[in-house]
Structure 1
Amino acid sequence: MNRVASLVLCLLFALPLAARAEGDAEERTWHRLVGILQYLEADYPLAIESQSAFELAEQKSFAAEAVDAARGLGPAAEAFLPRVLAIQARVDQAQDAQGVSQDCGALVEDLVLAGGLARSPRRAPDLKQGEALYRTNCAACHAADGSANLPIAATMEPAPANFQDPELMGGLTPYKAFNTTSFGVPGTAMPAYPTLSEEERWSLAFFVFTMRLPACEGTPPQASLERLANSTDEDLVKAFGPEHLACLRRKLPTVDEERSLLAAREGVQEAMRQGAAGNPAAAKAAMLDAYLNGLEPVEPKLSSRDAALVAKLERAFLQTRLAAESGSPHLQDEGRELLSLLDQARRGSGSATDLVSTMWLTLLILLREGFEATIIVGALLAALRKMQATQHVRVVHAGWVSALVVGAIAYVLGRHLLAGAQREWMEGVAALLAVVMLVYAALWLNARSNMSHFMGELRQKMQGALGRGSMTGLFFIAFTAVLRESFETAIFLQGLALDSPAGVAWGSLLGVVAILALVLFVNRMGYRLPMKTLFNVSTVILVATAVMLLGKGLHSLQEVGALPLVPVPFVTVDLLGLYPDAVSLVPQVVLAGVPLALVLLRRKGRAQRVSEASAG
């Protein structure tokens, strides 16, 4: 019995390892296919131009290798096989050099997307390690200085690469060099180096780009590892100028934002492995970890730079997590698409924003996050003034000012203490608490609007109509209406402040001025409105805001895994708190429908009373 139990335990532990090994082997095949196509993209036109029989034969062998690799991937690459075969047919006939090169480049991009391939290292390569590896493994053929100026090199066909040659380096990227060291070049003296780890191969690949460059003097511009790994020297010169090339290649970045996105990427890959091993619970846990510890900490900064991409990422995370929870076979496809989006975000990571751009982004964020809260606070103030209860205005002011203080504390504490799951929990709970208080406020205002003798009583005994309980309620209404927006704004501004603290400061100043002007305008207009109109408009605003915050609060709790995902066909409007999920939509419909039903019932009752009075 003990032997059987031990065997079962061994099998259970071996399943994830086997799935991981299988996944790694498949990923290597994707990379191998991409690497071969990159060879053809760069070298096939040169072979056609030279009309060298040896080089043309070499290109034919590359094309045949590409077909074998595509077939080896099975159904996953079935859609791409006709395109690979079309490339092979032209290569075998030594035709269409430009077309083959363009088709290879386009196919590479599609394969990277389909395979969810990482085309950059997980952390900044160690150039000193790369130099030591070069001396040990490469200098015998390429020479110590990378020039390939050695007697043995003259005997090789084709000759070893000359890393001092600007023309050669102009068409080479570190990712291409990484693939070369990973798989070698069939039919040449360039071997593969399977004994080197992935980190060592990346270090070696990045090092060869420094060999023809002078020493770095100064600080390089901000550029992500994803961008550096997939850019030629010519690309970097065009983007940043020739004076920065040496520093870009010699001083590699360690960007916190990119590290977070890499953590998200590794979490998604782990979820894909667990899904393939038949472990949906572990796959779901890995997806939650990838989102909360990978994407969530950098989401504010990403949103300020590319809100559309962040929206795609969030949808992809939810879809992949749903596939993981249900054990769907589509997990692998959803995961690959998500990995591609993460790499797209990585390409832009580390890019700084100038003062003016940061200032305008800050202003827009403040206006966007503060608009609903401003309308609510303004409506409450206007209602109190209309009822001549101005002594309670200070309670409303104390509420929203307290919420701003909490936001300021969140800004000071930083994302390290209030990020990931903590932030989502905070936003979700704050939103649901705000819903309760806003519904209370709507009922409170609606009750006053239907009491014709309320104003007289209010003047005689204010304390009875707005007692201590009501004052506490007013405080919490104003506090919760502003709290979520205040907290969320603090997180967004902290991300922007990493690029331009001065821009955030000036933008915040303009935003505060704009919001104060809006409050004064709403307050003044509300004071001039008729009593019944004012209360009715205020009630609609409060209920609509409660419906919006209910959707956002429930969505936040879904993102931390506290609530399940139940997707339904619907649109996503984040600004209005609308998401295609029954867990948030159904309660929103109920919350919006109940006040409407009460209004209809009240009108029906009023009509019946009028009818009875007429009949009598």
Structure 2
Amino acid sequence: MNRTRALALLSLLLALPLTAGAEGGSESSDTRTWHRLVGILQYLEADYPNAIETQSEFELAEQKSFIAEAAEAARELGPAGAGFLPRIQDVKARVDQGKDPEGVSKDCGALVEDLVLAGGLSRSPRQPPKLAQGAELFKVSCAACHGADGRGDVPIAQTMDPKPANFHDPATMAGLMPYKAFNTISFGVPGTAMPGFPTLSEEQRWSLAFFVFTLRQPPCEGTPPSVSLERLATATDPDLAAEHGDKNLACLRQKLPDADEERSLLVARTHVEEALRKGAAGDMLGARAELLEGYLNGLEPVEVKLRARDAALVDRLEQAFLKSRLAAERNSPHLQDEGRELLTLLDQARRGSGTAADMWSVLWLTFFILLREGFEATIIVGALLAALRKMQAMGQVRVVHAGWVSALVVGALAFLFGRRLLAGANREMLEGVTALVAVGMLVYAALWLNARANMSRFMGELRQKMQGALGSGSTLGLFTIAFTAVLRESFETAVFLQGLALDSTAGVAWGSLAGGVALLALVLFVNRVGYRLPMKTLFNVSTVVLVITAVLLLGKGLHALQEVALLPLMPIPFVKVEVLGVYPDAVSLVPQLLLALGPVVFMLLRRGRNARMTTPASQDQGGAGAPLV
């Protein structure tokens, strides 16, 4: 067996990374046990097949002691580790008998992934390591044994067994990643001359761990591809070379990323970790506050870019945040489990971060966002314009135009100057309040149109009567309807486009132009078609559109206020249809149901009343007027 390679892998035995705590903080004993168990299994995964191949009695005995230690660590975790104990015992039986090297290695690898998920473990630094700092630390603390160049060929190395690792050796580096190097620096390797350096700060240890990987690389020429810090910390050199080519390996190891997206996700992770610590200490109110901060200031600022890359992952993250918050609000013991799953999802998002979309991708995404966000408002505005033109109320047409144009201007200003205003809780609160105001105005508009239809039915001569019905109060109402119908979508679009502009400003500009033209065409089409529709059809369709849109916005508005904790969470078994504003929560779903049923009940009551009031005389009188709407 290659003892130098074994030295690198043996570092996993006591791999107790400090990344679960804040800088300078300490981990809980449970977290350290999770990491220790993962480290043991990683060592077995890599080294057990080699021990079987060499049939060294010492190495086989070593493997047996390690799997026994893994079983003990699982027991120390209590109920959280009990589910893994049967699988570990199954591996232990084969290791004790010296059988099935491939199966043991495969099963250990699967256990590692499941343990990382269950424990919510982090395996990367919180900020880009400083390679210059790492170089200085290597010179002071490591060069005496590993040599100034990292080859380990200094005289004192010849007296050591095993010898210090040679960081230029491809076999050694093939089994090493910065995460493992960080663990070795933190805790050393028992039974060897490799000590731990617990007096170094977490930042210093990560800087030193990443610097080790630059020693055998030639100078960097060019710009490395976009790769997340999370991926760089958990990938070996062969992994990166396979993914991005040998020519990019030197730059990937020497020019580390500093992406806003990953920093934001690290903010979210830090708050979730703090929430778990507070929850474990019994401070559920503090845990709830930390989860809310993590969502609003960590996930929300980068949601657009994440959704463009993996919408399903964003949905899972949002659900995980809500479940964790609900567990904290209910003082549930499941907070730790929910929180660890959330941490794993955040790390999954970090692994894919840093990938910028090209201009064409941003252009098409911008185009579809504008269509999606503008469709509801366009239909409302188009229906109002069509109805007013049919009634020849041209003065009010200008009022509607002033309303929706004003909302677009506010959205444009928000895009240019409102990045701070539209962040986190401010954005959600603004969207929620705006949506609820829009709901009120849309219900008003539906009643207004319905009243106009009734006038036509009972009085005839719709155009003359409508002119009298439109006073100063109606003018203000029409402006407010058009303004609020577009305002929420305008703000939300501004937030989305700000995120996309980080990848390609040109893509956002051209996509906005294309989307604006498409929306304008849609408005003109709806307006023209609405003008030609019979009045009864026009009013009925417009009323239905307004009520449906009000129901949709009511769900979105209430959900937004739930996300900033202004409304409680009351989840119920139901489907989630985000595009329709339907969420599986009683706080939003019940009001939506009541609002949707309201017009139906009103129509049935009115129909019954009209049936009782109908007389032959009134029927004859109604038939002599203008065509019914």
Question: TM range, normalised to the smaller chain?
Answer: over 0.9
Letter in 2 for 1:360: W
1:565 to 549, 565, 569: 569
Q: Per-residue deviation at 1:614?
A: 11
Map of 1:521 onto structure 2: 525
Distance change (3 Å), C-alpha of 1:181 and 1:211: same
Q: Per-residue deviation at 1:155?
A: 4.0
SS at match of 1:124: coil
Which of 51-60 and 353-362 deviates more?
A: 51-60
Q: Deviations over 1:128-155 (max 9, x none)?
A: 2222332333333322222122344344
Which of 540-549 and 409-418 deviates more?
A: 409-418
Whether the 8 Å contact between 2:363 and 2:510 is mirrored in structure 1 is yes
Q: How far apart, in 1, do the equivalents of 2:615 and 2:462 lie?
A: 31
Whether the 8 Å contact between 1:431 and 1:552 is mirrored in structure 2 is yes
Map of 2:340 onto structure 1: 336
Map of 2:393 onto structure 1: 389
Q: Per-residue deviation at 1:556?
A: 0.9
2:173 to 169, 178, 183: 169
Map of 1:366 onto structure 2: 370
Q: Is 1:456 matched up with 2:461?
A: yes
Which of 354-363 and 129-138 deviates more?
A: 129-138
Q: Is 1:230 matched up with 2:234?
A: yes
Whether the 8 Å contact between 1:23 and 1:273 is mirrored in structure 2 is no
Q: Is 1:114 matched up with 2:124?
A: no
Q: How far apart, in 2, do the equivalents of 1:535 and 1:610 lie?
A: 23
Whether the 8 Å contact between 2:391 and 2:466 is mirrored in structure 1 is no
Map of 2:429 onto structure 1: 425
Q: Per-residue deviation at 1:387?
A: 1.4
Map of 1:546 onto structure 2: 550
Which of 116-125 and 384-393 deviates more?
A: 384-393
Which of 518-527 and 472-481 deviates more?
A: 518-527
Count how many residue pairs are aligned between Structure 1 and Structure 2.
597
* Residue pairs, 1:463-612, within 5 angstroms: 464-610=468-614
Letter in 2 for 1:258: E
Q: How far apart, in 2, do the equivalents of 1:190 and 1:88 lie?
A: 28
Q: How far apart, in 2, do the equivalents of 1:531 and 1:107 lie?
A: 68
1:127 to 125, 131, 147: 131
Give the TM-score normalised by the residue count of structure 1: 0.92
Q: How far apart, in 2, do the equivalents of 1:38 and 1:514 lie?
A: 55
Q: Per-residue deviation at 1:21?
A: 8.4
Q: Per-residue deviation at 1:93?
A: 2.8
**Which blocks of at least 5 consecutive residues in structure 2 are unaligned?**
1-20, 620-629
**Which blocks of at least 5 consecutive residues in structure 1 are unaligned?**
1-16
Q: How far apart, in 1, do the equivalents of 2:25 and 2:129 lie?
A: 24
Map of 2:87 onto structure 1: 83
Distance change (3 Å), C-alpha of 1:537 and 1:614: closer
Map of 1:308 onto structure 2: 312
Whether the 8 Å contact between 2:452 and 2:466 is mirrored in structure 1 is no
Map of 2:278 onto structure 1: 274
Q: How far apart, in 2, do the equivalents of 1:156 and 1:52 lie?
A: 20
SS at match of 1:144: coil
Whether the 8 Å contact between 1:32 and 1:179 is mirrored in structure 2 is no
Q: Per-residue deviation at 1:414?
A: 4.2
Q: Equivalent pairs: percent with the same residue? A: 71
Whether the 8 Å contact between 1:432 and 1:549 is mirrored in structure 2 is yes
Give the TM-score normalised by the residue count of structure 2: 0.90
Whether the 8 Å contact between 1:367 and 1:511 is mirrored in structure 2 is yes
Distance change (3 Å), C-alpha of 1:90 and 1:465: same
Q: How far apart, in 2, do the equivalents of 1:262 and 1:472 lie?
A: 47
Q: Is 1:356 matched up with 2:360?
A: yes
Whether the 8 Å contact between 1:58 and 1:187 is mirrored in structure 2 is no
1:105 to 90, 104, 109: 109
Letter in 1 for 2:426: Q
1:256 to 240, 257, 260: 260
Map of 2:440 onto structure 1: 436
Distance change (3 Å), C-alpha of 1:579 and 1:402: same
Q: Deviations over 1:542-595 (max 9, x none)?
A: 011111111111111111111111222222211111112221112112211211
SS at match of 1:450: helix
1:241 to 245, 248, 251: 245
Q: How far apart, in 2, do the equivalents of 1:378 and 1:193 lie?
A: 69
* Residue pairs, 1:67-78, within 5 angstroms: 67-78=71-82
Map of 1:36 onto structure 2: 40
Whether the 8 Å contact between 2:445 and 2:481 is mirrored in structure 1 is yes
Q: Is 1:66 matched up with 2:104?
A: no
Whether the 8 Å contact between 1:387 and 1:455 is mirrored in structure 2 is no
Distance change (3 Å), C-alpha of 1:420 and 1:548: same
Q: How far apart, in 2, do the equivalents of 1:377 and 1:579 lie?
A: 26
Q: Deviations over 1:313-355 (max 9, x none)?
A: 1111111111111211111011001111111111111111011
Q: Deviations over 1:153-210 (max 9, x none)?
A: 3444433322101232123221122223334334444343333332222222211111
Q: How far apart, in 1, do the equivalents of 2:155 and 2:67 lie?
A: 31
Letter in 2 for 1:147: R
Letter in 2 for 1:450: N
CA RMSD, 1 decimal: 2.3
Distance change (3 Å), C-alpha of 1:374 and 1:457: closer
Q: Deviations over 1:86-133 (max 9, x none)?
A: 223323333222222222221111111100111111111122222233
Q: How far apart, in 2, do the equivalents of 1:158 and 1:48 lie?
A: 20
Letter in 2 for 1:82: P
Which of 206-215 and 515-524 deviates more?
A: 515-524
Q: How far apart, in 1, do the equivalents of 2:99 and 2:215 lie?
A: 36
Q: How far apart, in 2, do the equivalents of 1:68 and 1:181 lie?
A: 25
Q: Per-residue deviation at 1:459?
A: 3.6
Which of 349-358 and 56-65 deviates more?
A: 56-65
Q: How far apart, in 1, do the equivalents of 2:185 and 2:68 lie?
A: 20
Q: Per-residue deviation at 1:365?
A: 0.9
Distance change (3 Å), C-alpha of 1:76 and 1:103: same
Q: How far apart, in 2, do the equivalents of 1:611 and 1:28 lie?
A: 84
SS at match of 1:210: coil
Q: Per-residue deviation at 1:250?
A: 1.2
